[in-house]
Amino acid sequence: MKKLLLSVTVLLMITVSFAQPMHVKKYNFNSFGQDMKMDVTLLDKETSMGAKRHPEYGIRPYNAQCDECVELLDQRTRNSRQFIKYNNNHRTYSQQSYLPLHYKKSENDIWRTIDYRLRPDANKPGVYTADNQPVPTTCDLNRKLTSLNENGFVFECNKDLTMYFYDENMAYTATEKGNYNQYTIGEEGLEVKDIWKGIDMQEIFSIGQVKSNFVINAPLQLPISKGWMVIEDHFSLPVGITIEESPAGKHLENGFYQGDYLIKDITGKTLITYEKPAYTDAIAFSMHGMYKLLNTGNDYTL
């Protein structure tokens, strides 16, 4: 994957309208499923010796579009799979996708299932990884951050999250650190209740990307009458890695920036896209948010 997407969907405006709740996808923030191991008796007759050594031999892919089926690993391509019916090898199924279903770790590697699902790290309690994809992702609850690994460059984000309010006269409230005391985590991401009072956070993991939602569930007891709530992310970049504004972005009259940030290597290749935020209310009205980027040396606050 050439590009990573880190999108942030936030409810940040001080004046928020509340109506009937939106119907949204329910993500698994609570459990970790098990891969379906199938009886390989039928596969033994249909599979080469090389495919029998594949780590996924006899395992039905988590996103297979058939239930009583086993995969013929010899017939995998980047975008397709072939299956036979579990108890009838004369019944076949084909699965194809516009986007890749499989990837290789090297040129001569086998085709492996692209799997975005988090799994507990057996050697590091509190760490959850999705390594089986071109851009591995991690949720580290010990350090309270998420990360994406683009070909050896590890970008750590959602790190030391902080929040404050300020009014139109630029009077700032005290900065509050995120509170992770009430959390659940599952194969699709992390949910933190009351990361700040009245505000929940969701980190949703998918293929090569992490989307962060900050959800205001009811009107807040605000310390100011009119102004803004600001959520800050903190990260560091090594020497040779730069962060630039997207050419499609724009500067607003108030001096803030509205657009994506592009994190690039020394050759100018974009490694990470930190997408512009969106503010969405309870009836699904949405508008683009804005950023202010501060830095001291290689340490950044966004």
Summarised one tens digit per residue, pLDDT across range 71-104 is: 999 999 999 999 988 777 778 899 999 999 999 9
| Cβ-based neighbours of 239, under 8 Å, separated by 6 or more | 298
Report pLDDT for 195. 96
For the stretch 172-203, pLDDT in tens is: 889 999 999 999 999 999 999 999 999 999 99
- Distance (Å, whole) CA 64 – CA 57: 14
Residue 161's Cβ-count burial label (10 Å; 0-12, 13-18, 19+) is buried
The position carrying tokens 């017939």 is 75
Least Cα distance to 72 among 104, 103, 111 occurs for 111
Least Cα distance to 254 among 291, 294, 301, 300 occurs for 291
Report pLDDT for 14. 35
Report pLDDT for 23. 55
| Cβ-based neighbours of 149, under 8 Å, separated by 6 or more | 135, 136, 137, 138, 155
Q: How many CB atoms lie within 10 A of CB 244?
A: 13
* DSSP letter assigned to residue 74: G
The pTM of this model reads 0.88
CA of 270: how far to CAs of 72, 172, 206, 248, 261, in Å? 37, 35, 19, 14, 10
Q: Kindly report the average pLDDT of the chain as a whole number.
A: 88
- Distance (Å, whole) CA 287 – CA 109: 44
CB distance 218 to 225 below 8 Å: no
- Distance (Å, whole) CA 211 – CA 119: 18
Report pLDDT for 9. 40
| Cβ-based neighbours of 60, under 8 Å, separated by 6 or more | 35, 36, 38, 69, 70, 71
